[in-house]
Structure 1
Amino acid sequence: MLIAPLPDNEERRLARLDGLSVLDTLPQQAFDDISALAQAICGTPIALITLIDRDRQWFKSRIGVDLTETPREVAFCSHAILHPDEPMVIGDTLKDQRFSDNPLVSGPTQVRFYAGAPIVTDDGFALGSVCVIDQQPRELSAVQLDALRRLSALVATLLEHEKARKQESARTAEAVSRQHEELSAMAVAGLDLLVYVDRNCIHQHVNDTFLEYWACTREQVIGRSLQELVGEQVFKDVIQSKFECALAGQTSHYHRVTRFPGRGLRHVQVALIPARNSQGAITGVVLRAQDVHEIRRREARLRETVSLLEQKTLQQERFIHMLSHDLREPINAINNFSNLLESDHQADLPDVGRQYLGFVRSGGARMGALLDDLLRFIQLDKHAMTTERVDLHSVMAQVQADVAPALTSSNGQLEVLRLPFVQGDAALLYNLLRNLVANGLQFARSGVPAHVRVRAERQAGFDLIHVEDNGIGIAPEHQEAVFDMLKRLHLRRAHPGSGLGLPIARRIASLHGGYLTLKSAPGEGSRFTLRLPLAHGIPNESPV
């Protein structure tokens, strides 16, 4: 395992991170929403917002993991921050010498894919990353990587905003402690532009941020009415009703776009908060205006990214429609008419004609089967999963009934040992296990009856379902390739099939929050292992 070197500016970077006062803070919805967006856009089970401290990697937000931090020496993000200008993408960790023996890769977490966009401050310090993780190798599109970069920039903005908010809150609290008791509410409402007006809408106090935005002095504001500052029409249309609610004891809010003389056009979120004296009487209103312009701008960019992804989804829908309708019709015609030709006119055909007809029928059947598998694979992401308690013994009974003809014709054997109850989609798990069993029967050694065994064990928070066979096996250099779409290692006449069974099985495992691995050797058979997270609410004694 290669431990990432320290950045050249490490001490200043750590000082910058400490200055944000974000480490070990409570979860916040805004950061969790960004993690959820990263997970949804990249389609991975895990998404994190990480910050690299002196000896640890701490998670400001996390989806898909229970840990709150890891040692810095094993953190992928320790490498990512070394190149602040670009995301770091590890398509397959086992093929990267920096990470192939990393405990996060070789241990129970089984990390196989990582992509992280560094969180970089305005003055160039890389503090951590917005990253996504999967237990299977994969790639991200240019659109997904761009979205990840945008999300990391949004995190950097939020961190700076939180720092400014805390500083302004502290400054306001100190000022309020020296002011008249009517200003006590300002200590609570210390965000961005702060204004205290009395019951007659006359400005009694403003903070420095307010003066900066409005490009004026206190003497130009104090004693003037709110109507004079914002204009009679704006006051009447936007503020007056909310001001009256605040005087009645109810906090109210509004959003508007304002042109500030000192900052230009800005989106602001304004809260009107009742200000009370020590006896509890409402003496005026505190207006707290939070500048959300950058957040709105980045939200607009994210909406553009989501729109592009939606367009891609529509293109996929059109492709699925073409497969299921436009291609299905000519394939059905080929199969139907070749069957009629064989049943009604085979005797009239010469030997070469019957041979050619056989080629047409077998080709049409293969095209139909390939189309079925291709549709099944594409539509997996659209499948509405029903998560329920699934008895894998019952699922395997269905599989055994389905492959019974193949067992009889090959004199093969399917052995099912004790299996657990799991949480998942029974139909998808049936599809996965049937693919693995059929694969074991199909690739039997010549002259050796096929023997497929299905067993289970529990290990490190996962139920492991092993499907083992005594077949021809797969060379190590080809083992990952069998999970690629339409990849075939053998001639079709020797081993028929579409080449989609194993990619479908692996995708189903991913949809369940698990993953599918292969261990094999030529001439010694293969073992496929489905790792499923332990089901919540199912007793420990019920599985294996």
Structure 2
Amino acid sequence: MLKAPIPSNEQQRLWELYNYEIMDTPPEEEFDEIVKLASQICNVPISLISLVETSRQWFKAKVGIEASETAREISFCGHAIASNEEIFEVGDASQDYRFFDNPFVTNEPNVRFYAGVPLINKNGIKLGTLCVINSVPQHLTDDQSFALKVLARQVIKLLDLRLNNKALTAQKIRLKQQAEMQNRIISIIAHDVRSPVASLKQIVEFNNNNILSDVEAKELMQVAEVHLDGTLDLLSDLLEWGRLQINAHNCEYKQIDLYKMIEEKFQRLYAGSSIKQNKLVNLVDKDLVICTDPNALRFIIRNLLSNANKFTEKGIITIYAQREKDKVLISISDTGVGMDEKTSNRLFDGGGKRSTLGTHKEKGSGLGLLFTKDFIDMLGGTITIKSTKSKGTTFYIELKA
């Protein structure tokens, strides 16, 4: 038996196949109808839409067979996608040196005749085949060959349509999320930007009218300064979020040395962490490189580290990362005040207009965490939280590598 060869463009081929997000999905009537029609046109008992993965061929639609997948190395379809033929046809597998001792030939379903049309997408990539199978020797007529090619093109059109519909749905969800985010931003700005500015204006007016003593004016100005620091941080977050939103469809993906980026963020946080006697620990592998938008990732890391420092005193803030296949898992942990389950569950839903005060009574809007979630969504990642009151909090981030 000759094992199915591996195409020279296998890595790209698999990437395109996975991009359709079709593997292991439930049966769909449109695909089922195509294999039934192919079986009838070619007068065979078995017809399949077979998608060839790393080590298996999986059947999106099938007629005349119970199995949902088989090993790739013994598959006829593996040969079909590696060939340059428009239709890969085997008239009698028992007489073919490539297949005569193949278990599909010597055992059920006792394959003799096989004809497979490669499913070629718009980028010229062969994802699998539309194939027909019989247990007796056979050859396709010209009309059957033509019909099988037409049906194979229809399979690709269905796959593309399915992908486009999914993209449109994702876009609608994204637009809805952005609208909700904008409403939350307006609500937060109405309070967290206007209030300190209005207070400062009132202090200035009191001072100009000699209503305040020097001591009172000094004390109020110190309070206003703290409020304005929080407002400047909020405005910085707003500007960064707005800039990245404008470029959301043009994310600049680059190779990033994650350990080095964390060290840079630690340097910027050093003064604030020293005041609160917090220890910063970077456990990221020095050789870990990921491909993502550097500006978005910097924003995410900066906000989560600042948040950890805000709620921690005389504690430890640790960041760790590891690669798992095509993903990178990042965790940012602190030994701070923590939070109850109700609070952690609502942390990213904008459920509260005001955030909790930090260990030094630092104020915030909570907007930084909302933006952080938005950026992670934009990068196709996820973020989850594990927190225990009085023991600390850990944020878990999963990003595509």
TM-score (norm 1): 0.39
Which one of 209, 222, 234 corresponds to residue 348 of structure 1? 209
The superposition leaves residues 182-205 of structure 1 with CA deviations (integer Å, 9 ceiling, x where unpaired) of x952232236xxxxxxxxxxxxxx
Match of 1:426 in 2: 294
Task: Quote how far apart the aligned CAs of 1:471 are.
Answer: 0.7
Which one of 401, 405, 409 corresponds to residue 267 of structure 2? 401
Match of 1:521 in 2: 388
Which one of 162, 185, 201 corresponds to residue 142 of structure 2? 185
Between the aligned partners of 1:395 and 1:512, the Cα distance in structure 2 is 17
Q: 1:186 to 1:399 in 2, by over 3 A?
A: same
Between the aligned partners of 1:311 and 1:466, the Cα distance in structure 2 is 27
Match of 2:30 in 1: 157
Between the aligned partners of 1:440 and 1:506, the Cα distance in structure 2 is 16
Q: 1:494 to 1:528 in 2, by over 3 A?
A: same
Q: 1:33 to 1:369 in 2, by over 3 A?
A: same
Any idea what SS the aligned residue of 1:164 has?
helix
Which one of 415, 423, 437 corresponds to residue 305 of structure 2? 437
Q: 1:379 to 1:168 in 2, by over 3 A?
A: farther
Any idea what SS the aligned residue of 1:479 has?
helix
Match of 1:479 in 2: 344
Between the aligned partners of 1:167 and 1:473, the Cα distance in structure 2 is 65
Match of 2:366 in 1: 499
Between the aligned partners of 1:402 and 1:168, the Cα distance in structure 2 is 70
The superposition leaves residues 103-149 of structure 1 with CA deviations (integer Å, 9 ceiling, x where unpaired) of xxxxxxxxxxxxxxxxxxxxxxxxx36xxxxxxxxxxxxxxxxxxxx
Q: Is the 8 A contact 2:311 2:336 kept in 1?
A: yes
Counterparts of 1:123-272 in structure 2, within 5 Å, are 128=26, 155-170=28-43, 184-190=141-147
Q: Is the 8 A contact 1:464 1:531 kept in 2?
A: yes
Task: Quote how far apart the aligned CAs of 1:443 are.
Answer: 0.6
Q: 1:413 to 1:33 in 2, by over 3 A?
A: closer
Paired residue type of 1:454 = I
Task: Quote how far apart the aligned CAs of 1:424 are.
Answer: 1.9
Q: Is the 8 A contact 1:519 1:526 kept in 2?
A: yes
Counterparts of 1:522-537 in structure 2, within 5 Å, are 522-533=389-400, 535=401
TM-score (norm 2): 0.50
Between the aligned partners of 1:455 and 1:318, the Cα distance in structure 2 is 32
Q: Is the 8 A contact 1:338 1:361 kept in 2?
A: no
Between the aligned partners of 2:260 and 2:331, the Cα distance in structure 1 is 16
Between the aligned partners of 1:290 and 1:414, the Cα distance in structure 2 is 58
Q: 1:291 to 1:394 in 2, by over 3 A?
A: closer
Match of 1:390 in 2: 256
Q: Identify unmatched segments of 5+ residues in structure 2.
A: 1-12, 45-139
The superposition leaves residues 273-328 of structure 1 with CA deviations (integer Å, 9 ceiling, x where unpaired) of xxxxxxxxxxxxxxx89998xx99xx7xx88x95996799499689969x79xx89
Query: How big is the alpha-carbon RMSD for the aligned residues of Structure 1 and Structure 2?
Result: 5.4
Paired residue type of 2:29 = A
Between the aligned partners of 1:375 and 1:184, the Cα distance in structure 2 is 66
Between the aligned partners of 1:441 and 1:465, the Cα distance in structure 2 is 17
Task: Quote how far apart the aligned CAs of 1:359 are.
Answer: 8.5
Any idea what SS the aligned residue of 1:405 has?
helix
Greater gyration radius: 1
Between the aligned partners of 2:327 and 2:147, the Cα distance in structure 1 is 48
Any idea what SS the aligned residue of 2:347 has?
helix
Paired residue type of 1:475 = D
Paired residue type of 1:523 = S
Q: Is the 8 A contact 1:373 1:498 kept in 2?
A: no
Paired residue type of 2:316 = H
Q: 1:460 to 1:35 in 2, by over 3 A?
A: closer
Between the aligned partners of 1:157 and 1:361, the Cα distance in structure 2 is 65
Task: Quote how far apart the aligned CAs of 1:453 are.
Answer: 2.2
Between the aligned partners of 1:498 and 1:404, the Cα distance in structure 2 is 23
Between the aligned partners of 1:290 and 1:516, the Cα distance in structure 2 is 40
The superposition leaves residues 71-118 of structure 1 with CA deviations (integer Å, 9 ceiling, x where unpaired) of xxxxxxxxxxxxxxxxxxxxxxxxxxxxxxxxxxxxxxxxxxxxxxxx
Q: Is the 8 A contact 1:395 1:426 kept in 2?
A: no
Task: Quote how far apart the aligned CAs of 1:472 are.
Answer: 0.7
Q: Is the 8 A contact 1:465 1:530 kept in 2?
A: yes
Q: Is the 8 A contact 1:486 1:498 kept in 2?
A: no
Which one of 453, 474, 480 corresponds to residue 318 of structure 2? 453
Q: Is the 8 A contact 2:373 2:383 kept in 1?
A: yes
Q: Is the 8 A contact 1:169 1:189 kept in 2?
A: no
The superposition leaves residues 137-177 of structure 1 with CA deviations (integer Å, 9 ceiling, x where unpaired) of xxxxxxxxxxxxxxxxxx42242134223312438xxxxxx
Task: Quote how far apart the aligned CAs of 1:486 are.
Answer: 5.5
Which one of 263, 283, 296 corresponds to residue 417 of structure 1? 283
Task: Quote how far apart the aligned CAs of 1:442 are.
Answer: 0.6
Between the aligned partners of 1:291 and 1:454, the Cα distance in structure 2 is 49
Q: 1:522 to 1:391 in 2, by over 3 A?
A: same
Task: Quote how far apart the aligned CAs of 1:455 are.
Answer: 3.1
Q: Is the 8 A contact 1:389 1:423 kept in 2?
A: yes
Aligned residues between the structures: 277
Between the aligned partners of 2:386 and 2:298, the Cα distance in structure 1 is 21
